[in-house]
Chains A and B, each alone.
Chain A
Amino acid sequence: MGFERKDLLGTRDLSAIEIRSLLESAESFKEIAERPLKKVPALRGKTVVNLFFEPSTRTRTSFEIAAKRLSADAVNMSVSTSSVVKGESLLDTVDNIQAMAPDIIVVRHKFVGAAHMIAGRVGARVVNAGDGANEHPTQALLDMLTISEHKRLGPGLTVAIIGDIAHSRVARSNIWALTTLGVTVRVCAPPTMLPRELEKIPGLVVCERPEEALAGVDVVMMLRIQLERQDRLLFPSIRDYARIFGLNRQRLDLAAADAIVMHPGPINRGVEITSEVADGSRAVILNQVSNGVALRMAVLFLLGGQSYE
């Protein structure tokens, strides 16, 4: 019953029961942010290490705040990915950290499988904060927490995810979690950003054009177009992308009348989403952020609150 794993590495292997129990726990943590004293002693004396090999201010800050509100000691480590630069392999770095007996390690890394590698190596509980293009489970869970504030999360619900699906861990984690709960997920991306054979995933509908994906949909999830990608062969220009795939008022009107708009952030105004929509009444982007802290508190509490047998 509930979440009983050593680590949270992805949403792909989570059962519907595990997902719902995580979301329920997160609900209970929301009100702490409204208290004058935003702290509970639940993880007092526990050490949470944020091991970020990829730069990220928002996710790291979110985990840090979550840990501190649980009275845990949060330690941030920003490490260069290139072992050539720092002269130490991933496993050596991790062994060194484990020697300092952390209770929880939150890992973000440029490459797929890094969190799994670390989880298999250390006794500490591991939370995957993003491994390459593979998974970002806490993001998907906070997205679902946000959706559940407005919609019933289950069969009959439709969610459209639009953007660079191929390189998006947010897309993948959301796809697994949503389809597990019976939600219909429509993905849409330029052909160069749509992985082959994706249509074989049950519960997933692949749409060629955003208009198809948006028709009558309940939830619109826009993904950030990575401006910093070196491989510019993927699409000719930002202008082109914005024109064909950007979420503007007209496209949003195709969705259900009470559809909500989401984005994992940071948003590229005028590229994947217009300011009008991002700041509009249907956007719940800032709720995602505050739910992120509650969700991460729930995850840290469930992992750090008791020893793993």
Chain B
Amino acid sequence: MSSNNSSLLLKNIRLIDAGQNRDEKNLDILLRDGKVAEIAPDISFAADQVIDLDGAWVMPGAIDLHVHLREPGFEYKETILSGARAAVAGGFTSIACMANTRPVNDSAAVTRFILEQARSAPAKVLPIAAISKGMAGEELVEMGDLSAAGAVAFSDDGKTVANSKLLRHALEYASLFNKPLLCHCQDNALFADGVIHEGLISAAHGLPGIPTLAEDIDIARSIMLAEYLKVPIHICHLSTAEGVRLVRSAKDRGVKVTAEATPHHLFLDERAVIDLACGEVLDDSLKPNQLRYNTVTKMSPPLRATTDVSALREALADGTIDVIATDHAPHEATEKAVEYELAPFGVIGLETAVALGLRLINEKVLTPLELTARLSLAPAEILGLDDRGSLAVGMAADLMIVDPELEWTVDPEKFYSKARNTPFAGWRMQGRVVKTIVDGKVVFNL
């Protein structure tokens, strides 16, 4: 995405940008040379392209700091290119990809490979490097080398770093480079062979359960380390009420902890395992045949109890949870079409996240401004990206244009992602990304 000399004028917008604390209608926005040049009512400028948006919402492009692009090594599930296409279709202009590829992204060579593959991608791809070599949890990676090569953060996501001494050193060392550590919190022994949340559904159906304890113990450990060392730490895919309490009280004590929640954890609970529809009125033609034990309800951490979902929504509203991140985890259809206990964990989310975010606005969990904070401003801050996350003049021209009234139904067959493993098939949505712009160029048009 090198600079270009073209200009694009978007007229008649409602600008929503937490970074500028602005939610205003009847504005125009001028994009020049890949940056935001001017925001004002009625800009008259002879731009190369002028589009009248007729009151559509313009928000900073969403930034997903938790995506699995599967390349190198698992290109049959997704590639950097297909993942990036899915991203912009969903309004994401930057995506940070996790390191659990094959080979693991634990060396500058792999980071450079990812960046090379991403050159032709419509979204900006930011590699996250592993914390430990091979993600084996034993030796630290060469963080300096990886930072220089372009890694924006470190994470062994998919796994926890079980060895507390190693995690300590990782936190200490990463602070040298000002790169955050993104923590997948899981006590392996307590997780054991669990496949769904340990609660009423697992008790009633004999499915091995994953207790909230398995996550909370590791969240507490991670927070305590960060507090002791006085370094920042980021908690991935928070799913428990107790986890929320731990993060909230840590923040109150001044610990530099941030947390993310996924859209699926904000909308679905354990009952989806036995009834995928669970209260939602699904489009008949698009709803899945199998509503019970459908493996699109299987992910780690699992869908939890309704009390956990309520706590997550509250935390999202009050900012305890800083970020909405998808944990987009593509799998091939045949891989997921096996017995529930054998299926791999993970669901995709890039193409439904923003629409679900709009639903959070409708359900009065977030204001439009707050949504842009969770989707764009906070992720940019956490990753230390100072040229995006807001549409202030001078920032990169990365935007998503949203029609908040547009009604549509989620049809996985139409996804740009290679994968189809979404739990939202057949959901009727109101509000959709209609255009996505990266560095001033339209990269997605509905």
**Inter-chain contact B204/A172, CB cutoff 8 Å:** yes
Residue numbers in B under 8 Å from A198 (CB-CB): 203
Cβ distance B273 to chain A, nearest Cβ, rounded Å = 9
Contact of B293 among A113, A169, A197 (CB under 8 A): A113
Answer yes or no: A112 CB below 8 A from chain B CBs. yes
Closest to A10 in B: B205
Closest to A120 in B: B290
Compute how far the CA of A307 lies from the CA of B135 in the bound complex, rounded to whole angstroms: 55
Cβ distance B308 to chain A, nearest Cβ, rounded Å = 13
Compute how far the CA of A109 lies from the CA of B413 in the bound complex, rounded to whole angstroms: 31
Residue numbers in B under 8 Å from A114 (CB-CB): 339
**Inter-chain contact A113/B204, CB cutoff 8 Å:** no
Answer yes or no: A14 CB below 8 A from chain B CBs. no
Contact of B205 among A83, A89, A134 (CB under 8 A): A134
Answer yes or no: B398 CB below 8 A from chain A CBs. no
Answer yes or no: B200 CB below 8 A from chain A CBs. yes
Residue numbers in B under 8 Å from A168 (CB-CB): 206
**Inter-chain contact B337/A91, CB cutoff 8 Å:** yes
How does the 8 Å CB contact mask read for A60-84 relative to B, with 1 for contact and 0 for none? 0000000000000000000000010
Compute how far the CA of A135 lies from the CA of B205 in the bound complex, rounded to whole angstroms: 8
Cβ distance A260 to chain B, nearest Cβ, rounded Å = 26
Closest to B202 in A: A195
- Residue from B205, B290, B292, B339 having most chain A Cβ neighbours under 10 A: B339
**Inter-chain contact B203/A117, CB cutoff 8 Å:** no
**Inter-chain contact A133/B198, CB cutoff 8 Å:** no
- A122-180 with Cβ < 8 A to chain B: 132-135, 166-169, 172
Residue numbers in B under 8 Å from A120 (CB-CB): 289-290
Compute how far the CA of A89 lies from the CA of B289 in the bound complex, rounded to whole angstroms: 19
In the assembled complex, 13 residue pairs joining A and B whose CB atoms fall closer than 8 Å, in A order, are A89-B338, A90-B338, A111-B342, A112-B205, A116-B290, A117-B339, A120-B289, A134-B207, A166-B203, A166-B206, A195-B209, A196-B199, A197-B200
List 18 other contacts, CB 8 Å, given A90-B339, A168-B206, A196-B203: A91-B338, A111-B341, A112-B339, A112-B341, A113-B292, A113-B293, A116-B293, A117-B293, A132-B206, A195-B202, A195-B203, A195-B209, A196-B198, A196-B211, A197-B199, A198-B203, A200-B200, A201-B203
**Inter-chain contact B199/A112, CB cutoff 8 Å:** no
Closest to B198 in A: A196
Chain B interfacial positions (CB closer than 8 Å to A): 198-200, 202-207, 209, 211, 289-290, 292-293, 334, 337-342
**Inter-chain contact B204/A111, CB cutoff 8 Å:** no
State how many residues of chain A have any CB contact under 8 Å with chain B.
28
Residue numbers in A under 8 Å from B199 (CB-CB): 196-197
Compute how far the CA of A132 lies from the CA of B340 in the bound complex, rounded to whole angstroms: 11
Closest to A132 in B: B206
Answer whether A169 and B206 are a contact pair too, CB < 8 Å, given A116-B292, A120-B290, A200-B200: yes
Cβ distance A33 to chain B, nearest Cβ, rounded Å = 32
Contact of A112 among B198, B203, B293 (CB under 8 A): B293
Contact of B206 among A109, A134, A196, A197 (CB under 8 A): A134
Residue numbers in A under 8 Å from B206 (CB-CB): 112, 132-135, 166-169, 172
**Inter-chain contact A111/B339, CB cutoff 8 Å:** yes
Residue numbers in B under 8 Å from A112 (CB-CB): 205-207, 293, 339-341
Closest to A135 in B: B206
Contact of A132 among B204, B211, B341 (CB under 8 A): B341
Closest to B334 in A: A89
Compute how far the CA of A12 lies from the CA of B292 in the bound complex, rounded to whole angstroms: 13
**Inter-chain contact B204/A201, CB cutoff 8 Å:** yes
Cβ distance A303 to chain B, nearest Cβ, rounded Å = 20
Compute how far the CA of A203 lies from the CA of B180 in the bound complex, rounded to whole angstroms: 51
Give me the 5 closest cross-chain CB pairs, A-B, nearest first: A133-B206, A195-B203, A113-B293, A111-B339, A134-B206
Answer whether A113 and B339 are a contact pair too, CB < 8 Å, given A89-B334, A120-B289, A195-B209: yes
**Inter-chain contact B340/A111, CB cutoff 8 Å:** yes
Compute how far the CA of A172 lies from the CA of B341 in the bound complex, rounded to whole angstroms: 18
Compute how far the CA of A201 lies from the CA of B206 in the bound complex, rounded to whole angstroms: 14
Residue numbers in A under 8 Å from B200 (CB-CB): 197, 200
Compute how far the CA of A90 lies from the CA of B342 in the bound complex, rounded to whole angstroms: 11
Answer whether A89 and B203 are a contact pair too, CB < 8 Å, given A111-B342, A116-B293, A195-B209: no
Compute how far the CA of A197 lies from the CA of B306 in the bound complex, rounded to whole angstroms: 14
Cβ distance A181 to chain B, nearest Cβ, rounded Å = 18
- A80-120 with Cβ < 8 A to chain B: 83, 89-91, 109, 111-114, 116-117, 120
Residue numbers in A under 8 Å from B289 (CB-CB): 120
Compute how far the CA of A142 lies from the CA of B338 in the bound complex, rounded to whole angstroms: 31
Cβ distance A115 to chain B, nearest Cβ, rounded Å = 10
Closest to A83 in B: B338
Compute how far the CA of A114 lies from the CA of B204 in the bound complex, rounded to whole angstroms: 16
Residue numbers in A under 8 Å from B205 (CB-CB): 112, 134, 172
Residue numbers in A under 8 Å from B202 (CB-CB): 195
Compute how far the CA of A198 lies from the CA of B206 in the bound complex, rounded to whole angstroms: 11
Closest to A89 in B: B338
Residue numbers in B under 8 Å from A133 (CB-CB): 206-207
Residue numbers in B under 8 Å from A196 (CB-CB): 198-199, 203, 209, 211
Cβ distance B215 to chain A, nearest Cβ, rounded Å = 15
**Inter-chain contact A197/B342, CB cutoff 8 Å:** no
Residue numbers in A under 8 Å from B337 (CB-CB): 89, 91
Closest to A199 in B: B203
Cβ distance A197 to chain B, nearest Cβ, rounded Å = 5
Closest to A230 in B: B193
Compute how far the CA of A201 lies from the CA of B342 in the bound complex, rounded to whole angstroms: 27
Cβ distance B214 to chain A, nearest Cβ, rounded Å = 13
Compute how far the CA of A117 lies from the CA of B337 in the bound complex, rounded to whole angstroms: 9
Cβ distance A118 to chain B, nearest Cβ, rounded Å = 10
Compute how far the CA of A58 lies from the CA of B203 in the bound complex, rounded to whole angstroms: 27
Closest to B203 in A: A195
Cβ distance A175 to chain B, nearest Cβ, rounded Å = 9
Cβ distance A161 to chain B, nearest Cβ, rounded Å = 14
Residue numbers in A under 8 Å from B341 (CB-CB): 111-112, 132
Closest to B201 in A: A197
Residue numbers in B under 8 Å from A90 (CB-CB): 338-339
Residue numbers in A under 8 Å from B207 (CB-CB): 112, 132-134
Residue numbers in B under 8 Å from A166 (CB-CB): 203, 206
- Residue from A109, A117, A120, A198 having most chain B Cβ neighbours under 10 A: A117
- A187-214 with Cβ < 8 A to chain B: 195-198, 200-201
Compute how far the CA of A172 lies from the CA of B211 in the bound complex, rounded to whole angstroms: 21
Cβ distance A305 to chain B, nearest Cβ, rounded Å = 27
Cβ distance B197 to chain A, nearest Cβ, rounded Å = 10
Compute how far the CA of A91 lies from the CA of B340 in the bound complex, rounded to whole angstroms: 12
Closest to B342 in A: A111
